[in-house]
Structure 1
Amino acid sequence: MNLCELLQATDGVVLQGDARTEIRDLCYDSRAVTPGALFVCLPGLHTDGHNYALQAAAAGAAGIVCERLPDGLPQDLPVVQVTHSRRALAQLAIQLYGAPARQMTMIGITGTKGKTTTAHLIAAVLEAAGRKVGLIGTNGVSWPRYRHPLQHTTPESCDLQRLLRQMVDAGCDACVMEVSSLGLKMDRVTGIEYDVGVFTNLSPDHIGPGEHASFAEYRAWKSVLFRRCRVGVVNADDPQTEAILTQHSCRVVTYGMDHPADWRAGADFCLQQQPGFLGVDFSAAGPDGIFRPYRIAMPGRFSICNALAALAVAGVLDLPADAVRQGLTQATVEGRVQPVPLDAPFTVVIDYAHNEAAAENLLTTLRAYRPKRLVVVFGCGGGRSRIRRFGMGEVCARLADLCILTEDNSRGEPLRDILADIRTGMRRGNPDTAFVEIPDRRKALYYALDHAQPGDMIAVIGKGHETTLQRGGETLPFCEREILQTYMKQKKA
């Protein structure tokens, strides 16, 4: 496609060069430029793509898109000026890849917690109904016979459009994706109209340098999804729902457990626990008012809430009732309240909970199974808001019988500073809660297994599905499930 054709989707103005130049790819990282690629200069928190335009040109870029003209570019190199580089990147990508989102049923999920689980539940229901589904989110991108990790919950716009095109080419007719607040703020999903938008819940998170300036801003960006979807499926129980729907332009469908809603769960539910299995049986009714039984292989009240969101989406899409029930029963989510098979008289679960709200939901749910002791192994990430550390420490001290403090992607920040913040939070939650501090996460896992008692429930939280550990500028292989299973086998041997 030539540059002139691409620019039809933008407000770009050609400052120099031939607008008929052929463009074969889009790129925003000068290190990844290939001949024929159009390089888009993205302003960032720590660096600015405009500073790398010369490197992109030297690497063979077919043209440059910028907000301001970089100095020193060859005079015959096509240069396009736009008002907003990020918005232009999304528009260019949609044009280059043929608007793939318009060829699938698009379902976007936003909220603070529950996005990944809800996405997998919806995907499982769609697959049971015979649809071919692509998934994009915290656990990576996947479709039948393809899986790959992602750096961001919501990928950069040109990466996202490329993935959507690959999904369509692979035969997918539906895409379920997590839509982060930063994805909305940074124009990663600009130009996509969702058939269904889903809101799970909202609590303070992602507030700090490089993220959001305040909770109000965080909430405002979340709300944008409901001006870009045809139907909004929202949580009637969440106190932020009214604010999320400010200026919405979609038809609204509600779900909930405590407030009147289009889709609602019965007051009674039954926790199920078997070796290697934690789940719940519940009943739910849709607009017809008839309660029907369901089972999910995920524990607790918050899992029912996620399942209700999936039921509401299934209702909007008019999916067969049998497929919905089958999909919910069979759905599993890697790293989300995931029991680890250990052949032991205690239970170990892995979960991605890495903020205060998610940790509180998880530990409250596990408490309902009445373990002899509730033990939690956790840390907090470096280079992130300190508020999260205080909150995690406070919740874990309040709800657990024993806390094992350790590392969690400390990145370049001194681990001692992170642990000190967690201890401050613990003193607020319950200064009498027993804890041990083991900086090495592998040794912390070993300690948890060595000191486990019959009837204990051990929650290893923060990393979930992740298979690496970021420490001191290095990214190391680290799969908690494999580490736990290997060590337990060695103990038994």
Structure 2
Amino acid sequence: MALSLNSALAILKDHGLLRELIGPEGWTLSAQGPSADQDFTSITYDSRQVGPGALLCCKGHFQARFMDGLDQAGLAAYLAEEDFSQRTQAPGLIVSNVRQAMSLLAAEFYGRPQELLKLVGITGTKGKTTTAYYVQALLSQASGGRAALLSSVDNCLDGRTYTESELTTPESLDLFRMMRQAADAGMRYMVMEVSSQAYKVDRVHGLTFDVGAFLNISSDHISPVEHPTFEDYLYCKRQIAYNSRLLVLGADHAYEGLVKEDAAKAGIPITTFALDAGTGPSGTDPGQAATWVAQVDRRNPGVNAFQALRQGHPAGSFTLAMDGLFNGANAAAALAIVDALGVPMSESDLQTLSQVRISGRMERLSAPGIVAYVDYAHNYASTSAVLDFVHDKYGGQPLSITLVTGSAGGKAVDRRKEIVDAAQYRVDRLILTEEDTELASEPAESICQQMMDNVTNPQLDASIIQDRGEAIAEAVRGAQSHPERLDAILVIGKGEERWIKRQGKHVPYEGDDHVLARLLKSGDPQTQQEKASE
């Protein structure tokens, strides 16, 4: 791990990012003196973490006042898009794009750990997390546990220890630090989710994936602070084709042809995957041409059983612990990714998929006359997929469906209407409740009311109960009052998170799964999930 002022200047010049170096001796394009070759001791984007020999990256909403006192703390240099020489004696690397520069310098500081790992990057509107877990499980099986994971739920850098993540894709500086930790722990593979924001704000700038995967696309993350339009969202997602050595592509979404053109322009090969042999949005049968297909085993109704086909030939069978046909598509994507890496898979290796469970992902709990699911579904596509599953699995009997949901504040404002649109003619009861909020100017009750304003079905029983635990309790009480039918309760958006963000601050929360388990008196939710998959 070595990065000095001179080596940083060379990297920035090579990539056309350097504007000038500003220091006590004036403005220049080169550094002089012995200190220019001294390695930085640390690199950070948090001014509070600056110590002797540190390089500070001034990204985002960095303010000049943050520089005060940093000379005394030992600041060695700063990286920025503007001049802060009025606040510090440390030299400033002034660049045209600080986020791109930070990514390149972080990679160098941490010894280019990406070259020590086989990298898998997975993007798409839905299914990224589950696919990433499936891929990690298959690669761990093949490598003796040497597969790391970065996901929106958990991160695992040693193949064994899982810790809750903060971002779907970490900031570049954190990303390369975590890669170094994984490489030092003996990992051979790193599987990571790649969000649209990762390309929008250059979190993966300069990174090339050995295999990139584009699962699917539908409208999401449209807001003033994320993507202004669907076109911008799709464009950012498509960048994975230009930053991978091979692309795995879902064969059943409307923009498949455009992404294929991207891959052709980038000069990389494509392998495809699909679920079953159904008709895709284009009116064709994606399963006919897809390299990998997860075909539903109709001989085992009620069991998540699939037959894997590779280029039309049987490659083995497997079952999935997590409910939902859409997880069959995620499994097909995982098989295509591992195959693209050149990792051989026997039929017995496919059984690894049956062991994968993700807390808060299609987690089933039950009581007499009631079945409940906790899931992270948070947009039109994922909400529709969960409802498709419930109607398919339980629709042949008297059934009432209650959906408990909210929508996040401060981002993805389009979800507030789209979740309602996905549900209002497919559920019997809609209970709107709090979810994470960032701003005091946009409280949870305001978001719930916006969602309520989009309810147009006069037959729908819709209400607002702001307290999330009480909203779930009301759903359970309603279900218990009708023993003559089956009631399905779907609680979506938070999964197994043990906190709610209120006005940007994390507040402890029991968790949707624990609330339901307590109310249904069904014991440990993980035990119930295991029983449901038997």
The amino acid across from 1:37 in the alignment is: A
The worse-fitting range, judged by mean Cα deviation, of 149-158 and 322-331 is 322-331
The worse-fitting range, judged by mean Cα deviation, of 306-315 and 321-330 is 321-330
The worse-fitting range, judged by mean Cα deviation, of 48-57 and 98-107 is 48-57
Q: Retained in 2: the 8 A contact 1:219–1:244? A: no
Q: How does 1:70-85 map to 2 (within 5 A)?
A: 70-75=84-89, 77-85=90-98
Q: CA deviation at 1:244?
A: 2.6
Q: CA deviation at 1:160?
A: 0.5
Residue number in structure 1 paired with 2:182 = 167
Q: CA deviation at 1:219?
A: 0.8
CA, structure 1 residues 375+26, in 2 after alignment: closer, same or farther (shift >3 Å)?
Answer: same
Residue number in structure 2 paired with 1:33 = 50
Q: How does 1:218-237 map to 2 (within 5 A)?
A: 218-237=233-252
Q: CA deviation at 1:343?
A: 5.1
User: Any idea what the Cα deviations from partners look like across 1:80-116, whole Å, max 9, x if unmatched?
Assistant: 1222111110011110111111111110000111100
SS of the residue corresponding to residue 190 of structure 1 reads: coil
CA distance in structure 2 between the partners assigned to 1:202 and 1:254 by the alignment: 15
User: Any idea what the Cα deviations from partners look like across 1:311-351, whole Å, max 9, x if unmatched?
Assistant: 111222332223541221111122111123x5554222110
Residue number in structure 2 paired with 1:460 = 491
Residue number in structure 2 paired with 1:385 = 412
Q: How many residues align?
A: 479
CA distance in structure 1 between the partners assigned to 2:297 and 2:355 by the alignment: 22
CA, structure 1 residues 488+298, in 2 after alignment: closer, same or farther (shift >3 Å)?
Answer: closer
Q: CA deviation at 1:489?
A: 3.8
CA, structure 1 residues 74+439, in 2 after alignment: closer, same or farther (shift >3 Å)?
Answer: closer
Q: 1:253 aligns with which of 263, 271, 274?
A: 271
Q: Retained in 1: the 8 A contact 2:437–2:444? A: yes
Q: How does 1:249-328 map to 2 (within 5 A)?
A: 249=266, 250-257=268-275, 258-259=285-286, 260-266=289-295, 269=298, 273=302, 280-287=304-311, 289-290=313-314, 292-316=316-340, 317-328=342-353
Q: Retained in 1: the 8 A contact 2:434–2:445? A: no
The amino acid across from 2:56 in the alignment is: F
Q: How does 1:385-424 map to 2 (within 5 A)?
A: 385-411=412-438, 412=440, 413-424=442-453
CA, structure 1 residues 313+58, in 2 after alignment: closer, same or farther (shift >3 Å)?
Answer: same
The amino acid across from 1:179 in the alignment is: V
CA distance in structure 2 between the partners assigned to 1:408 and 1:200 by the alignment: 26
Q: Retained in 1: the 8 A contact 2:371–2:489? A: yes
Q: Retained in 2: the 8 A contact 1:270–1:282? A: no
Q: CA deviation at 1:297?
A: 1.4
User: Any idea what the Cα deviations from partners look like across 1:51-80, whole Å, max 9, x if unmatched?
Assistant: 6334544543221112221241343x2221
Percent identity between matched residues is 33
Q: 2:110 aligns with which of 94, 97, 112?
A: 97
CA, structure 1 residues 192+157, in 2 after alignment: closer, same or farther (shift >3 Å)?
Answer: same
The worse-fitting range, judged by mean Cα deviation, of 154-163 and 139-148 is 139-148
Q: Retained in 2: the 8 A contact 1:285–1:292? A: yes
Q: 1:14 aligns with which of 9, 13, 21?
A: 21
Q: CA deviation at 1:417?
A: 2.0
Residue number in structure 2 paired with 1:486 = 518
Q: Retained in 2: the 8 A contact 1:90–1:189? A: yes
Q: CA deviation at 1:394?
A: 1.7
CA distance in structure 2 between the partners assigned to 1:54 and 1:421 by the alignment: 43
Q: CA deviation at 1:461?
A: 0.1
Q: CA deviation at 1:49?
A: 5.0
Q: Retained in 2: the 8 A contact 1:139–1:465? A: no
CA distance in structure 1 between the partners assigned to 2:402 and 2:246 by the alignment: 41
Q: Retained in 1: the 8 A contact 2:306–2:317? A: yes
Q: CA deviation at 1:435?
A: 2.5
Residue number in structure 1 paired with 2:133 = 120
Residue number in structure 1 paired with 2:5 = 3
The worse-fitting range, judged by mean Cα deviation, of 393-402 and 224-233 is 393-402
The worse-fitting range, judged by mean Cα deviation, of 51-60 and 293-302 is 51-60
CA distance in structure 2 between the partners assigned to 1:344 and 1:165 by the alignment: 50
The amino acid across from 2:84 in the alignment is: P
The worse-fitting range, judged by mean Cα deviation, of 242-251 and 83-92 is 242-251
The amino acid across from 2:66 in the alignment is: Y
Q: How does 1:367-382 map to 2 (within 5 A)?
A: 367-370=391-394, 372-382=399-409
Q: CA deviation at 1:445?
A: 1.5
CA distance in structure 1 between the partners assigned to 2:296 and 2:503 by the alignment: 48
Q: CA RMSD in A?
A: 2.2
CA distance in structure 2 between the partners assigned to 1:290 and 1:484 by the alignment: 40
CA distance in structure 2 between the partners assigned to 1:490 and 1:220 by the alignment: 45
CA distance in structure 1 between the partners assigned to 2:228 and 2:46 by the alignment: 26
SS of the residue corresponding to residue 451 of structure 1 reads: helix
Q: Retained in 1: the 8 A contact 2:64–2:87? A: no
The amino acid across from 1:83 in the alignment is: S
SS of the residue corresponding to residue 368 of structure 1 reads: helix
CA distance in structure 2 between the partners assigned to 1:98 and 1:392 by the alignment: 44
CA, structure 1 residues 470+254, in 2 after alignment: closer, same or farther (shift >3 Å)?
Answer: same
Q: 1:141 aligns with which of 145, 152, 155?
A: 155
Residue number in structure 2 paired with 1:276 = none
SS of the residue corresponding to residue 93 of structure 2 reads: strand
Q: CA deviation at 1:410?
A: 3.2
Are residue 157 (structure 1) and residue 176 (structure 2) matched?
A: no
Residue number in structure 1 paired with 2:220 = 205
CA distance in structure 2 between the partners assigned to 1:490 and 1:119 by the alignment: 30
CA distance in structure 1 between the partners assigned to 2:394 and 2:520 by the alignment: 24
CA distance in structure 2 between the partners assigned to 1:55 and 1:93 by the alignment: 24
CA, structure 1 residues 55+480, in 2 after alignment: closer, same or farther (shift >3 Å)?
Answer: farther
The worse-fitting range, judged by mean Cα deviation, of 364-373 and 233-242 is 364-373
Q: Retained in 1: the 8 A contact 2:67–2:88? A: no
CA, structure 1 residues 346+98, in 2 after alignment: closer, same or farther (shift >3 Å)?
Answer: same
Q: Retained in 1: the 8 A contact 2:149–2:155? A: yes
SS of the residue corresponding to residue 203 of structure 2 reads: coil
CA distance in structure 1 between the partners assigned to 2:519 and 2:49 by the alignment: 40
The amino acid across from 2:513 in the alignment is: R
User: Any idea what the Cα deviations from partners look like across 1:417-439, whole Å, max 9, x if unmatched?
Assistant: 21122113221xx3311223211
Residue number in structure 1 paired with 2:526 = none
Residue number in structure 2 paired with 1:67 = 81
Q: CA deviation at 1:267?
A: 6.1
CA, structure 1 residues 268+24, in 2 after alignment: closer, same or farther (shift >3 Å)?
Answer: same
User: Any idea what the Cα deviations from partners look like across 1:348-371, whole Å, max 9, x if unmatched?
Assistant: 211001111110111111111115
Q: Retained in 2: the 8 A contact 1:377–1:444? A: yes
CA, structure 1 residues 247+389, in 2 after alignment: closer, same or farther (shift >3 Å)?
Answer: same
